[in-house]
Amino acid sequence: MALLIFSVMLVLLLLGFPMIVPLVAGTFVGFLEIFGDVSKMEFVIQQFLAGIKPASLVAVPMFIFAADIMTRGQSANRLIDMVMKFIGHIKGGLAVSTATACTLFGAVSGSTQATVVAVGSPLRPKMLKSGYKDSFILALIINSSDIAFLIPPSIGMIIYGVISETSIAELFIAGIGPGLLILVLFSIYSVIYAVINDVPTEPKASAAQRLKAVRDALWPLGFPVIIVGGIYGGIFSPTEAASVCVLYALILEGLVFKTMGFKDIFDTAKSTGLITGVVFILVAAGAAFSWVISFAQIPQELLASIGISEMGPKQILFVISLAFFVGCMFVDPIVVILILVPIFAPVVKEVGLDPVLVGTLVTLQVAIGSATPPFGCDIFTAIAVFKRPYIEVIRGTLPFVLILFFVTALLIFFPQIALFLRDLAFK
């Protein structure tokens, strides 16, 4: 049955159908194989509806809406300007500023693609003017946007938490350590690149300019304080944090900065609604698909075929990481999470692996795959935004991907990189 289901999905995918079609088709093929007719179709429909029932999913459109408001307003540019004023003058400072800006924007958006657009659009021209090669710039932007998937709020972590029934608050806190580690390693590589290629430095900002930049960025810096501080302090849940972020973004861009009127807010809400519709349809279909493959015990069959029951915890983490990384090289990250999490969930529970550690690793692999050839979604976002050919966009990605693999290995062998803050906050 597993071969039939995945063959149908693969054929439809190769024929060019959007991912929702193979996902739904695989679900119904599996259903017919199990029950033999359509008389019990209501069970599948119930699973579709159950997939979008969890209250935690409300955080997804809220964070998307807040990120969209900030991208259209001044918040993103103010954060970028503050980072530039402090580290733009060091060797490789512009590249380090770009990676840091991606991290900061990730802390208010939770979306890799939104980060590519918001940070890449203003900083790429500056880096080109300063003498950086475009292949390095594009690789830096799309791979630094991976940090947005780890630094809370992370939409990927929300989906994983709902599917695996893992605490989203704990996942958010656990993503901070690996995210900051990636930022440090990317910054070191950027400095080395700038020294080797003798990239000129930017003029050093004066104390007055830095002070003004900090003042301008104080309001946008409230977003990570609300999200991390509120959750860490037990003031509100991730879903409540998302709602507060939307209100804060509306006040900031509508009343404080005065960059958005009612029409702009309406257009932003409409855009968020369209994106949310796509995400929730995928989540619903993924839930039904998960129910079908679990009912048919396909996960047990697949995992038994690779001998996972004989593996140790670290080997299992390696297999999980590899599966999610390869999957996201070809398919949308949310779909990969929806399909693979239910497959690996039984063995994670059986072996006693920490689901928060597994979730952090999964999120990291999803992020890496999103920026890796051949079909990483961030690559095509960069192609669309920057109007550059595919080969040029992927040419400089290898060093960054190797760094991300190194962080993956560190997480597997030193899980406290992710779990230290989680344990401090919740244990």
Could you read off the pLDDT of 19-35 as tens digits, one per residue?
Answer: 778 888 888 888 888 87
Report the alpha-carbon angle 311-157-304, nearest 5: 25
Question: 261 and 253 in contact (C-beta within 8 Å)?
Answer: no
Q: Count of CB atoms within 10 A of residue 269's CB? A: 15
- Distance (Å) of CA 63 to CA 224, 257, 338, 372: 12, 20, 20, 25
Which pLDDT does position 179 carry in this prediction?
A: 92
Which pLDDT does position 225 carry in this prediction?
A: 83
- Asked whether residue 377 carries a pLDDT value surpassing 80, the answer given is no
Classify residue 235 by its DSSP letter: S
Phi, then psi, of 284 in degrees rounded to 5 = -60, -45
pLDDT digits (tens, 9 = 90+) for 78-124: 888 898 899 888 899 989 988 988 888 777 766 777 778 778 888 89
Give Cβ neighbours of residue 375 (< 8 Å, ≥ 6 apart).
329, 330, 331
Distance (Å, rounded) from C-alpha 349 to C-alpha 241? 29
Lookup result for tokens 């290629």 = 197
Distance (Å, rounded) from C-alpha 115 to C-alpha 153? 13
Q: Read off the pLDDT of each residue in 342-366 and give the average, rounded to a whole number.
A: 90
Lookup result for tokens 């958010």 = 172
Q: Helix, strand, or coil here: 415?
A: coil
Give Cβ neighbours of residue 56 (< 8 Å, ≥ 6 apart).
158, 161, 162, 168, 238, 239
Among 118, 119, 121, 115, residue whose Cα is nearest residue 149: 115
| Range of weakest confidence among 40-54, 264-278, 297-311 | 297-311
Question: 61 and 272 in contact (C-beta within 8 Å)?
Answer: yes
Which pLDDT does position 375 carry in this prediction?
A: 67
What's the one-letter identity of residue 300?
Q
pLDDT digits (tens, 9 = 90+) for 262-296: 899 999 899 888 888 888 888 888 888 878 877 77
Q: Count of CB atoms within 10 A of residue 138's CB? A: 26
Give Cβ neighbours of residue 411 (< 8 Å, ≥ 6 apart).
178, 357, 360, 361, 364, 417, 418
Q: Read off the pLDDT of each residue in 356-377 and give the average, rounded to a whole number.
A: 85
Which pLDDT does position 110 carry in this prediction?
A: 67
Quick one: what percent of the chain has pLDDT higher than 70?
A: 97
Range with the largest mean pLDDT of 117-131, 190-204, 379-393 = 190-204
Which pLDDT does position 417 carry in this prediction?
A: 95
Q: Count of CB atoms within 10 A of residue 177's CB? A: 19
- Asked whether residue 151 carries a pLDDT value surpassing 90, the answer given is no
Distance (Å, rounded) from C-alpha 244 to C-alpha 64? 13
Which pLDDT does position 201 carry in this prediction?
A: 83
Which pLDDT does position 220 carry in this prediction?
A: 87
Torsion of CA 403, 405, 406, 410, to 10 degrees: 140
| Range of weakest confidence among 6-10, 169-173, 316-320, 417-421 | 6-10
Round the average pLDDT of the chain to a whole number and report it: 86
List helix spans (H) across 233-352. Answer: 238-251, 262-295, 298-305, 313-328, 333-351
Which pLDDT does position 2 carry in this prediction?
A: 73
Classify residue 307 by its DSSP letter: T
pLDDT digits (tens, 9 = 90+) for 55-78: 888 888 888 888 888 878 888 788
Q: How confident is the model at residue 410 (pLDDT cuts 50, 70, 90)?
A: very high
Classify residue 309 by its DSSP letter: G
Which pLDDT does position 208 carry in this prediction?
A: 93
Give 114: exposed, middle or buried? Use CB within 10 Å, 0-12, 13-18, 19+. buried
Q: How confident is the model at residue 367 (pLDDT cuts 50, 70, 90)?
A: confident
Range with the largest mean pLDDT of 52-56, 171-175, 306-310 = 171-175
pLDDT digits (tens, 9 = 90+) for 209-255: 999 999 998 988 888 888 878 877 778 888 888 889 899 989 999 99
